[in-house]
Amino acid sequence: MARKTNDYYFNKLDKAVGFACEAAEMLNNVLSSFSVDNLDKKIREMHVIEHAADIDKHEMMSKLINEFITPIDREDIIQISQEIDDIIDQIEEILQCIYMYNLKSIRQEAISFSRLIVEACKTLKKAVEEFSNFKKSKTLKDYIIECNRIEDEGDRLYSEVIRTLYTHLTADAVQLFSWVKIFDLFESTCDSCEHAANSLERIVLKNY
């Protein structure tokens, strides 16, 4: 694997996951102390995070286009960058859906899911921090395994909450549709965290 003296791309990926962590924390805070009156403001704040992440990603891609040698294969950089971007986009979409569907209160399962996403993003960040030193890292594998465990927990939570919704909300089609869509997004966000972690593992195996 070609190496450069600087860690520009590793640092950019780490920064990208930092944006994901920031978005996840904001989502969890908004849901944990939910206020309909505050929601529009929080959506704008979330978009600031998403936009900053996009700008940073475009900056990295512009450099990547003109780079002759990269520390890892350029298609791997692009893939991980996109997978991290997917996490941020999905977190923002969760908040937007809560606003668009005009929900007046938050289900406890949504708060539990948001906490799980915070945990997944923080664990992914630890993995990315170790990524540049993967041949010597003693913890990278453990962080990847932990990301997989969190995704499994998300799958279990998703199955339970969807069953609950279809058991107790069938008389209210609008509420049922709204919450199923939102929990689909929660589950997809957990999946995206796992996808990014699995990509790290694949790249390590390819270059070891």
- Angle at alpha carbon of residue 125, lines to 21 and 159, rounded to 5°: 70
On whether residue 23 sits in a domain, the answer given is yes
Tell me the average pLDDT across 167-191: 95
Percentage of the residues of the chain whose pLDDT score is greater than 70:
97
Stronger pLDDT, 5 or 126, i.e. the higher one: 126
On whether residue 152 sits in a domain, the answer given is yes
User: Are 39 and 20 within 8 A, CB to CB?
Assistant: no
The Cα 54–Cα 86 span in angstroms is 11
On whether residue 3 sits in a domain, the answer given is no
pLDDT tens-digit profile of 61-120?
999 998 888 888 999 999 999 999 999 999 999 999 999 999 999 999 999 999 999 999
Split into its structural domains, the chain has a count of: 1
Parent domain of 175: 8-207
pLDDT band at 14 (very low <50, low <70, confident <90, very high): very high
What is the CATH classification number for the domain harbouring 171? 1.20.58.220
pLDDT band at 21 (very low <50, low <70, confident <90, very high): very high
pTM (two decimals): 0.94
Helix/strand/coil for 56: helix
Tell me the average pLDDT across 55-63: 96
How far CA 26 is from CA of 54, 88, 110, 136, 205, in Å, comes to 18, 11, 14, 34, 34
Whole-number pLDDT of residue 6: 56
Residue type, 89: D
Query: If you ran DSSP here, which 8-state letter would residue 12 be given?
Result: H
CA end-to-end span of the chain, whole Å?
A: 9
DSSP annotation string for 126-192: HHHHHHTTTTT-SSHHHHHHHHHHHHHHHHHHHHHHHHHHHHH-TT-HHHHHHHHHHHHHHHHHHHH
On whether residue 191 sits in a domain, the answer given is yes
pLDDT band at 1 (very low <50, low <70, confident <90, very high): very low
User: Are 25 and 118 within 8 A, CB to CB?
Assistant: yes
On whether residue 2 sits in a domain, the answer given is no
* Range of lowest pLDDT (22-26, 121-125, 201-205): 201-205
On whether residue 171 sits in a domain, the answer given is yes
User: Are 18 and 52 within 8 A, CB to CB?
Assistant: no
pLDDT tens-digit profile of 133-152?
888 889 999 999 999 999 99
On whether residue 87 sits in a domain, the answer given is yes
Mean pLDDT (the chain, rounded): 94
Tell me the average pLDDT across 179-183: 98
The Cα 164–Cα 175 span in angstroms is 13
Spatial neighbors of 65 by CB under 8 A, at least 6 apart, are none
User: Are 154 and 116 within 8 A, CB to CB?
Assistant: yes
On whether residue 142 sits in a domain, the answer given is yes
Whole-number pLDDT of residue 5: 39
Query: If you ran DSSP here, which 8-state letter would residue 61 be given?
Result: H
